[in-house]
Chain A
């Protein structure tokens, strides 16, 4: 058997998600190859968040197929958890656990792979300090922060801790829903660069973005409008006419 193209990290075919008035997603196809960095564009309400929720398994589509690394969603609970462990999501609201330290938060990303003894021990003792410190360093953070409670961190530090937690999970699929929305432009650029640097094969990154000026580091852009894919191609092909069509006249960057 000849070696075909490498298995897609994420493959969506004919995805449909119904909504109240009209489908939130209709006939969406999307595929991410290992090492690919894809930006998801579209006005608010176009279906970006819905698409990401389907991609991370939170939402089951009413029609269409989802394949993670070539596998359909597992039927067994254990198999499903193993699949979910390979999908890392960077949430817009970060979802850090406020009562725990930075290290405990980073280790929370390992819960899927840990048994109960380590999960409980993590609440008592610092575990895997070396790996946690490495994750912080990769995000340009001082490892001395490990013992801090996350409530003691600044906004930018929290963002980086959430990204370090994503690394600590060691996922193959990285998903992010407008992670840069609330940041000032300089910081947004810095953090995006850190995230893009982590998306090397066998990993792939799908990130929803509301600022086309940050498209540079991506390989591909996918434009959504009214729940349908309007555009899927190299970033270089994204031009003013396409953006005007995607954002329906409102200048991009001003959509919330």
Chain B
């Protein structure tokens, strides 16, 4: 009794059953009016020129931080990616040992969420625009490095060996043989990371690092929903323009989509790609000046508290099993919600033509709207806790997964679905059997990767309280308990690394079975 592909796709949605039982007791019903006026404000955003001007400044700061953080992560990722590639070290020195070593070291910055980086840096060097930039650049750089070195090491080396045999020096041979083959993959992944960077920059703002996120949080806390929605619609326009632009370039350059579930395209117009990359440099300099980023100020560190005097007994006395358990439960709930709801909703609305567009908009809002703000909004009507946090995190990731599934379904072969519909199966079953069959395994493989991201991300909803490691971490941070903080970050990193390994295995299994 092995469930077939389309059924597998719907299984994660079974998480709705326990949720339906657990959710009603959490409703305290205090703030339905607030939720109502929040929803109404969506169609009546504030058009006050003063508000709009301030929000526009916020959007510009957020976009600027995202751009710089992203550019920094690309530079960092290219250097570190080359430094952790087995092929590069084998060509240069004959040994792959340094590559293995650097690869392991890079796991640490990658395992720590940009929010934790941001808050730590904030303590270290004080509030300045460069903090958010660096907080994005460091973990993203380590992620880019990993993807790049994996891409690099998966390339066939015959061309490289031929050049070396013909006497070309190692660096020139590497660049010539590997560069062009690598470019499409790097650009595709880079484009995806720019979208992530915009979301991260907004999120960092919610935690006080500047830009639109800060405005959004203040508007929410002071219940200025009309201003809140003006900000959201602005951000939505920026995000959709960015996503549209990136997918336009992908199509123009025939670069494969980062996670399009049906792979195609090899890369074309490489000169145009390189020119676009080169044009980013002056742009980044200009944006850096506009934001007032001062690299020198990063070197003036606040005095660090001595770790020797830490209260390790109190740290050990933290309820670790409950913290870890809460974090894992939160991750599992949010991941199942996000992975399971996207196909379920698409199937449910299949007969209604315009409903797809509605879902598209809802998912765009989910991607854009930082999870901690969703959590704050949910607190108007729900008790704090793991489930409330999972709903917020799940909604955000539903936006990411839903978009991926919808875009993949749009480019997938319609023939089987058409044949079923022609034989009289309703639109829902035709979609499930005819189109989702082929997408199920790659989608679930991506879901496994996403679960790993969600685990890392679970810290951002810590502010609703009682969610495990995340809320404890934010609490320890605000009370400057450095010893606890260190232990919490270490445990978080460890969990993420284990999670990464598990999700890698799951992904390979899904894809091999496909």
Seen from chain A, the residues whose Cβ lies within 8 Å of a Cβ on chain B are 56-58, 77, 81-89, 91, 93, 95-101, 104, 108-109, 111-113, 116, 119-120, 123-125, 169, 171
Contacts and interface: CB of A to CB of B under 8 A. Distances in A.
B138 interface: no
7 contacts: A56-B422, A81-B425, A84-B423, A85-B423, A99-B4, A111-B433, A123-B5
A112 B424 contact: yes
Q: Is the interface of A mostly helix, strand, loop or mixed?
A: loop
Contacts of B416: 95-97
Contacts of A120: 7, 10
B438 A98 contact: yes
B422 A124 contact: no
Contact of A123 (B6, B426, B441): B6
A81 B1 CA distance: 31
Contact of B4 (A82, A88, A104, A171): A104
Nearest to A86: B424
A95 B419 contact: yes
Contacts of B461: none
B429 interface: yes
B3 A123 contact: yes
A101 B415 CA distance: 18
Contacts of A119: 429, 432-433
Given A93-B415, A98-B437, A108-B433, A123 B422 contact: no
Given A100-B5, A104-B4, A123-B7, A111 B429 contact: yes
B419 A111 contact: no
A97 B1 CA distance: 19
Contacts of A82: 424
Contacts of A89: 419, 422-423
Given A98-B438, A99-B437, A57 B4 contact: no
Given A89-B419, A98-B437, A109-B423, 8 more contacts: A81-B426, A84-B424, A87-B422, A91-B419, A97-B433, A99-B438, A111-B423, A120-B10
A100 B437 contact: yes
Interface string B411-431: 000011011111111100110
Among B418, B421, B433, find the residue whose CB has the most chain A CB atoms closer than 10 A: B433
Given A91-B419, A109-B423, A124 B1 contact: yes
A61 B375 CA distance: 53
Contacts of B440: 99
The 7 A-B pairs with the shortest beta carbon distances in the complex, nearest first, are A112-B424, A85-B424, A84-B424, A111-B425, A123-B7, A95-B419, A99-B5
B30 interface: no
B179 interface: no
B319 interface: no
A57 B441 CA distance: 32
A123 B423 contact: no
A125 B420 CA distance: 20
B425 A112 contact: yes
Contacts of A108: 420, 425, 433
B351 interface: yes
B500 to A, nearest CB: 28
A109 to B, nearest CB: 6
Interface residues of B, number: 28
A58 B419 CA distance: 9
Given A97-B434, A99-B437, A112 B423 contact: yes
A23 B454 CA distance: 55
A169 to B, nearest CB: 6
A35 B429 CA distance: 31
B5 A169 contact: no
Interface in B1-44: 1, 3-7, 10
Interface in B428-469: 429-430, 432-434, 437-438, 440-441
Contact of A169 (B3, B423, B432): B423
Contact of B415 (A57, A83, A95, A123): A95
A124 B415 CA distance: 24
A100 B4 contact: yes
Contacts of B421: 84
Contacts of A169: 423
Contacts of B423: 84-85, 87-89, 109, 111-112, 169, 171
A97 B419 CA distance: 10
Nearest to A169: B423
A124 B3 contact: yes
A114 to B, nearest CB: 8
A224 to B, nearest CB: 21
Contacts of A123: 3-7
Contacts of B433: 97, 100, 108, 111, 119
Nearest to B438: A99
A34 B495 CA distance: 68
Contact of A58 (B3, B6, B10, B422): B422
- Which residue, of A95, A120, A124, has the highest number of chain B Cβ atoms within 10 A? A95
Given A120-B7, A124-B7, A97 B424 contact: no
Contact of A111 (B7, B420, B438): B420
A89 B434 CA distance: 15
A77 B419 contact: no
Interface string B343-372: 000000001000000000000000000000
Nearest to A81: B424
A125 B437 contact: no
Interface string B324-349: 00000000000000000000000000
Nearest to A100: B4
Contacts of B5: 99-100, 123
Contacts of B3: 123-124
A50 B422 CA distance: 15
A244 to B, nearest CB: 35
Contacts of B419: 89, 91, 95
A20 to B, nearest CB: 22
Given A101-B4, A104-B4, A124-B7, A84 B426 contact: no
A82 B432 CA distance: 19
A124 B6 CA distance: 10
Interface string B193-220: 0000000000000000000000000000
B191 to A, nearest CB: 30
